[in-house]
Structure 1
């Protein structure tokens, strides 16, 4: 499908991509979401926590958060609430080490760790009587959704019917370079703080890879991915990791209706992160690129708690 026209307009009191990103992230409150946690175990003897919301239903939505987030982030809770009202039971996946407890193994999550997504999907389908499973991913989680769908073009479970991805860094190399620029240091340092803290907490597990002093020298996302992510997860270096795992490489093989919603003024991305060419003649992927919205923002009315991304997800997943 071609790039589709967007009708999103931000409120007048949130001008620019930075405010549209930061205000919802820091100040949004979402009531009425009461998670119950389920812990499942992985093939490598680690664990993943799934936060469930809603009674048993024949439709389940799996939500996957972004970098250094969790199921408890406002955008995850907001989407949970919106899709619950639309008739879905919600499964909010916490990526490794993001549920409040450090994971067991030296490895972590990253933009290509679809093995954990597959573990969660298999568990949901095996243990729940549902007729339909939809996938919703935010930022890094959106990259995981697209990568998973592309990898499973010939063996995708039949019950997976649709997907929505929001603020996706389809070109990981360009996205990392943007965040490492001087003017993006606030976002970069926000992520690096917790990423480095987790590495320090598990430094005794990593003497073969990194020392505590080496961790302290990490000053950019590229450094982190070059010194840890790539080496821990069998990539040659950061560039090999970025080029192997970016969603752009997997869009062509997506076989179900999938929406990619990303703002032009997303402060995390450059225009290289927008997959116009990959989506222009795609039979299943819809690319929507509003002029504004920020990163995982898309606020319509902050006081009323209305968000365009939630409206579009409900509309797309129930059509």
Structure 2
């Protein structure tokens, strides 16, 4: 089914990619009470991760399901994860928010590091969801690094995607990790780079403090950016030869042409973290649609007043896309059909 998206118009107080990114992360929030049930998923290597099950009161077996996968430095508590879960719940969709290894409620459960190439972790969670929600149509939605992971998984599936998965949505995916790291080093004199590394240092400290028998990681004082971290930590502890080998193997870009399941990529021209050129120059299959918004920053998308119930443009696009791919009466009852059709041809890039 085609997805009907309205144009993104930035909030008059939040113009430009940096303001969208920063204010979108730290402001315009609402308090959302945690009511999820936690499930522990054990992985093949013995590590475990936690998923947070937000189940609508009237949800029944075979009703729709969505899996949300967060980005670097995030967790089930990230604003976009909480908001999308609440809004999807209101439309009858059961949501599983996945904490990546060592993140969120999973601190202390994983000896191995979280990294952008762990698509097999997402596959393990989907298998667990299918056991809990047998035959429920399931949408997979990833954000930033999580978006890279879900795209990589979709490419690995090729034409063998699980029967219960109806589609994949990826928001701001760093499809070329090496280029993205170089970009982050340059933007605002490395402000984002330093911020990410501060979070990664905290991630390693929590891991060593809470995980029995984990391999200690000495972090040199000279470590300044994500690439330094990947060279000193991610690559050697995760079995890669070096940072370039990690970026080559973990980037989703080479997998985009192999995707056969319906897939939507949403990105912003003014994203200060993920260069839009990486996506525009990628080879994508006919199953992949790329929508490029004129603004929105990195996971910001704080919008001007519109027909949406609030200013979070991206949240409502997640709802629209998810409901559009679900079979049955749910779509007719809940999906807002007053959207200009931007997907007239498969695989065509659109600006909104």
Instruction: Tell me if both proteins adopt one fold, taking TM over 0.5 as the criterion.
Output: yes
**DSSP 3-state at the match of 2:273:** coil
The Cα RMSD (Å) is 2.3
Comparing 167-176 with 49-58, which one deviates more in the overlay? 49-58
Give the TM-score of the pair, scaled to structure 2.
0.82
Q: 2:83 aligns with which of 74, 78, 83?
A: 78
- The alpha-carbon distance between structure 1 residues 309 and 50, as it changes in their structure 2 partners (threshold 3 A), is same
Task: Quote how far apart the aligned CAs of 1:160 are.
Answer: 0.2
User: What are the residue-to-residue correspondences of 1:170-319 with 2, within 5 Å?
Assistant: 170-181=175-186, 183-202=188-207, 205-206=214-215, 210=217, 212=218, 214-279=219-284, 282-301=285-304, 305-319=310-324
Are the equivalent residues in 1 in contact too, given 2:50–2:105 (CA < 8 A)?
Answer: no
- Alignment of 1:53 with 2:54, yes or no, is yes
Give the length in aligned residue pairs.
Answer: 310
Are the equivalent residues in 2 in contact too, given 1:147–1:247 (CA < 8 A)?
Answer: yes
**DSSP 3-state at the match of 2:52:** strand
Are the equivalent residues in 2 in contact too, given 1:65–1:71 (CA < 8 A)?
Answer: yes
Give the TM-score of the pair, scaled to structure 1.
0.90
- Alignment of 1:64 with 2:69, yes or no, is yes
In the alignment, which residue of structure 2 is the partner of 1:91?
A: 96
- The alpha-carbon distance between structure 1 residues 178 and 54, as it changes in their structure 2 partners (threshold 3 A), is same
- 2: distance between equivalents of 1:301 and 1:271? 23
- Alignment of 1:136 with 2:141, yes or no, is yes
Task: Quote how far apart the aligned CAs of 1:9 are.
Answer: 1.2
- Alignment of 1:17 with 2:17, yes or no, is yes
- The alpha-carbon distance between structure 1 residues 38 and 28, as it changes in their structure 2 partners (threshold 3 A), is farther
- 2: distance between equivalents of 1:25 and 1:81? 17
Structure 2 gap segments, 5+ residues each: 325-352
CA deviation map 1:138-176 (0-9, x unaligned): 000000110011111143111101121111111111111
Structure 1 gap segments, 5+ residues each: none
Task: Quote how far apart the aligned CAs of 1:103 are.
Answer: 3.3
- 1: distance between equivalents of 2:280 and 2:321? 19
Task: Quote how far apart the aligned CAs of 1:182 are.
Answer: 5.8
**DSSP 3-state at the match of 1:294:** coil
- The alpha-carbon distance between structure 1 residues 237 and 6, as it changes in their structure 2 partners (threshold 3 A), is farther
- 1: distance between equivalents of 2:94 and 2:252? 27
- 1: distance between equivalents of 2:145 and 2:265? 13
- The alpha-carbon distance between structure 1 residues 182 and 308, as it changes in their structure 2 partners (threshold 3 A), is closer
Question: Which 4+ stretches in 1 moved above 6 angstroms?
Answer: none
User: What are the residue-to-residue correspondences of 1:145-164 with 2, within 5 Å?
Assistant: 145-164=150-169
- The alpha-carbon distance between structure 1 residues 164 and 11, as it changes in their structure 2 partners (threshold 3 A), is same
- 2: distance between equivalents of 1:8 and 1:167? 15
Are the equivalent residues in 2 in contact too, given 1:163–1:317 (CA < 8 A)?
Answer: no
CA deviation map 1:220-269 (0-9, x unaligned): 11111111111111111111111222121111111111111110100102
In the alignment, which residue of structure 1 is the partner of 2:116?
A: 111
